[in-house]
Chains A and B, each alone.
Chain A
């Protein structure tokens, strides 16, 4: 099977959803702040900002937006993991130097899809293929995997400071810079 799963989301779609929701939170909270500041008494059942002052609304808005950013980062990273796996299994040409690194870092079963191919394999490949060319891109990718593990494993330990930099845009930039070092990486896999 060499067709890409139709369920893998494109970057553009994830970005549109993320930005739309982010803006909605911004608009709703600003609308409530404006109404409170007009002296309007808002009695709405299940209002998420019930009995909040404008500064508390701003604080809650910030927390919700941070949460949204994290959720969409994980979604973006997960989609890229699937795309990178597809690229290595089906798009990377055998005659390219990267292919021999790929072969050396994976087993036949992982390449055939009998066993999962994951970020740890891509990290191993990147260490040989990307690190010598651009250590910064490689280091950022390794940090991103660390951040991804923190998110995907239920945030069970404190988030280290150097991982705080990964907002939605930074996550996308890190992944897109990494893929720029992979030959014939198709545009459709963004």
Chain B
């Protein structure tokens, strides 16, 4: 005989459910760990800009000024933490990087980049793997963070 679906829990069922939830908490996100990975990824990104943009500018004979600006971000569950905006100025390039946060839809973090007046999103597709968001809406694509893709925004 088919049994009807029970909607009222017994006390025992309630306790067992609670216990399972507590066991399940083991899989919960380690927000501290996430924050550290995020901050590390920002460092990695800034280093990439140093190694590519700043270096190329210097090699081309331009005077390059780069500076960091301390900021405080707040995100739910993670709380307040300090990080830095990064600015590079040299010759025809004016580049500003503003970390937006690690809690975003579709990636592990985002840094907004202003490059010669254009605003471009850089997203962390995977830990250590930065991508450029190209286009909007249904034509949105993720491009590798590379010099050739970056140059497009300088024109």
Query: For the complex, is A109 an interface residue (Cβ under 8 Å from B)?
Result: no
The reply to whether the CB of A63 lies closer than 8 angstroms to some CB of chain B is no
Q: Mark A38-80, 1 if CB is under 8 A from B, else 0.
A: 1101111011011111101100000000000000000000000
Contact with A along B92-121 (1 / 0, CB 8 A): 000000001101111110100000000001
- B36, CB-defined interface residue at 8 Å: no
Residue of A nearest to B133 (CB): A51
**Chain B CB within 8 A of A36 CB:** yes
Range of interface residues on B (Cβ < 8 Å)? 20 to 34
Are A49's CB and B77's CB within 8 A? Answer: no
Contact with A along B8-51 (1 / 0, CB 8 A): 00000000000000000000010100100000000000000000
Task: Give complex CA distance A4, B34 in Å.
Answer: 63
Q: Tell me how many residue pairs across A and B have CB atoms closer than 8 Å.
A: 51
* Inter-subunit contact B76/A52 (CB<8 Å): no
Task: Tell me, in angstroms, the Cα distance from A36 to B31 when the chains sit together.
Answer: 12
Q: How far, in angstroms, from A49 to B136 measured CA to CA in the complex?
A: 11
Docked complex Cα distance between A46 and B101 (Å):
21
A interface residues, tally (CB under 8 Å): 19
Instruction: From the candidates B77, B105, B108, B121, name the one contacting A32 in the complex (CB within 8 A).
Output: B105
Assess whether A37 is in contact with B76, with CB atoms less than 8 Å apart.
yes
Contact B103 A37 (CB under 8 A): yes
Residues of A that sit less than 8 Å from B by CB: 32, 36-39, 41-44, 46-47, 49-54, 56-57
- Which 6 A-B pairs give the minimum distances between C-beta atoms? A39-B29, A53-B101, A49-B105, A37-B76, A36-B103, A50-B106
- What are 27 sample pairs from A and B whose C-beta atoms fall under 8 A apart? A37-B76, A37-B77, A38-B29, A39-B29, A39-B31, A39-B103, A41-B106, A41-B107, A42-B105, A46-B137, A46-B138, A47-B106, A49-B105, A50-B105, A50-B133, A51-B107, A51-B110, A51-B123, A52-B104, A52-B105, A53-B100, A53-B103, A53-B104, A54-B75, A54-B76, A54-B103, A57-B105
